[in-house]
Amino acid sequence: MSEIFYCKNCGGIMEFDAATQSLKCPHCGEEQKIDANRSAVREHKLTAEARQMVRVQDKKSTTMQCPSCGAMVEVEPNSTAKDCPYCGTAFVLAEKQTDVIVPDGVVPFQIDKKKVGEVFHKWIKGRFFAPNELKHLYQQDKLQGIYIPYWTFDAKADAVYHAEGGRNRIVEYRDSKGERHTRTEVTWYPTSGNVSNFFDDVLVRASNKLDTYLLRQIEPFHTKDIPAYSPNYLSGYSAEIYTVNLSDAHREAKEEMKTELRRLAEQDVLRRYDQVRGLRLNDNYRDETYKYVLLPVYSTAYQYKNKQYHVLINGETGRVQGEYPKSVAKILLMIAGILILIGLFFMATDAFACGAKGVPVAETAQEEYIEYEPLTVDIDGIQEV
């Protein structure tokens, strides 16, 4: 998918610059505007044929497969070596070419490589439990920008539901000792109805290499009104190819839609009843469409005491989520601090209790003091106090 763009001024290779949203030469600063055509993004009809076969087009990029974790990544054709953005393994590119679908749209990087270094450094400094030496291990060249493939799905959905709605009522009763109590009893009634919703851009990952939890934590990505795909956006970055086919992604998207329809149906029942149970859903989808898009992520993997940790940064919003080692000494220090605070709290509570009984601590000490007679000494007939 990537192409080489040479600078007209000095002949250097131009790269996509997130700050200006243009191609920029890192050597002389020459800029070339990118035509962000947002009206050209296509939504494809989701047919049975499309789920079985998606058109494959020629590409000019090189596919690399990491020998360690197996990730398939698209890079510039002139690249000779690369670090895997998922596990950090360095390897030489193979000659193998893998067919790839040309994306319909792309969310360009909004945070450049210099800024993302500051974002990462700020994040790692904010990890209180991280060992102090970890905050000095940051290496900017290990933080790589990569476009992650996603399928998006649109659909008009309707669902007929059947359920039981419960109405609560308070009932008084006496126990075996004759004491009066109240309890809540529920009367259940059969109910039914229908709900509908338009789903726009339900996102399903087209690759499973990145940690699902970390990726969810750096969402959302804004896929509305995005520019059509252009190889200009990939210049200087990598792009992973899809490994989740359209049919499997569609099933996952429908499960997400069905979950939302179920939630809407439960809300509909709860508008008339206090509780809901036994909800059954008959869902239907029409006018389904899909598209294939690339979303920007910065990824890094680093080693600390023979263990690997991963950090992801949303290349659009700068949101960070990652793994990091925990310092046992800092955790113990925190626990000790909490115990001290608990002890001070109970001491303050005891002092307050004494005051509440009308015997302030300070006054008690004074009263005990004045109960004793002053000490007198008679020296040579002179009484001293």
Tell me the DSSP string of 190-223: EEEEEEEEEEEEEEEES---S-HHHHHHT-----
Closest CA to 137 of 127, 151, 152: 127
Sheet containing 31-33, strands listed edge to edge, beginning at the edge strand earlier in sequence: 15-17, 22-24, 31-33
Among candidate residues 287, 305, 326, the one where a domain is terminated? 326
Q: What is the residue range of 360's domain? A: 332-384
- Please report, as a single letter, which amino acid is at residue 100: V
- DSSP-derived pairing of the beta strands 31-33 and 22-24: antiparallel
Confirm whether 12 is domain-assigned.
no
The structure tokens 């990952």 sit at: 205
Q: What is the DSSP letter of 115?
A: H
Do 225 and 372 reside in the same domain of the chain?
A: no
Residue 63 confidence (pLDDT): 64
Final residue before a domain boundary, out of 326, 341, 360: 326
Question: What would the pLDDT profile of 206-256 be if each residue is shown by its tens digit?
Answer: 988 788 888 889 989 998 889 999 889 988 888 888 888 899 999 999 999
Q: Residue 39's closest CA among 295, 279, 227, 250?
A: 227
Note whether 292 and 366 are same-domain residues. no
- 331's tokens: 């955790």
Give φ, ψ of 62 to 5 degrees.
-110, 140
**How far is residue 324 from each of residues 131, 132, 180, 213, 305, measured CA to CA in Å?**
9, 12, 57, 14, 11
Q: Is residue 361 part of a domain?
A: yes
Residues 159 and 215 in one domain: yes
- 10, part of any domain: no
Reading the block at residue 296, the tokens are 């920007």
Do both 270 and 357 map to the same domain?
Answer: no
- For residues 207 and 293, what is the distance between their CA atoms, to the nearest angstrom? 12
Q: How far apart are CA 110 and CA 233, in angstroms?
A: 11
Please tell me the predicted confidence (pLDDT) of residue 365: 44
The values of phi and psi at residue 353, to 5°, are -65, -40
Q: Can you list the alpha helix ranges (DSSP code H) found in the chain?
A: 48-52, 113-125, 212-217, 246-270, 328-356, 361-370
Question: Residues with Cβ < 8 Å from 347, sequence gap 6 or more?
Answer: none
Q: Is residue 247 part of a domain?
A: yes
Model-wide pTM > 0.75: no
Are 370 and 282 contained in the same domain?
Answer: no
Among the three residues 290, 306, 326, which one is the final residue of a domain in this structure? Answer: 326
Residue pair 356/350 in contact by the 8 Å Cβ criterion: no
Q: Which amino acid is at 176?
A: S
In a shared domain, residues 283 and 339: no
Tokens 């259940």 sit on residue: 188
The low-confidence residues of the chain, meaning pLDDT below 50, are 55-59, 78-81, 92-98, 361-385
Residue 96's pLDDT is 43
User: Does residue 20 fall inside a structural domain?
Assistant: no
Q: How far apart are CA 33 and CA 52, in angstroms?
A: 38
Say if 94 falls within a structural domain: no
Same domain, 109 and 235: yes
Whether residue 345 sits in one domain with residue 276: no
Distance of alpha carbon 339 from alpha carbon 350, whole angstroms: 17
Q: Do 157 and 302 have their domain in common?
A: yes
In this predicted structure, what is the pLDDT of residue 89? 65
Report pLDDT for 369.
43
Tell whether 24 is covered by a domain: no
Maximal CA-CA distance, the chain: 124
**98-143 pLDDT tens trace:** 456 788 999 999 998 888 888 888 887 777 666 666 666 555 557 7
Say if residue 346 is in the same domain as residue 247. Answer: no
Handedness of CA 100, 290, 218, 113 (dihedral sign): positive
Looking at the DSSP bridge assignments, the partners of residue 170 are 184
Cα angle value 81/85/87 (rounded, 5°): 100
Query: Is residue 117 situated within a structural domain?
Result: yes
- The verdict on 183 and 291 lying in the same domain is yes
pLDDT the model gives residue 134? 64
Pair of tokens at residue 181? 């109590």
- Number of structural domains found in the chain: 2
For residues 364 and 221, membership in a common domain is answered with no
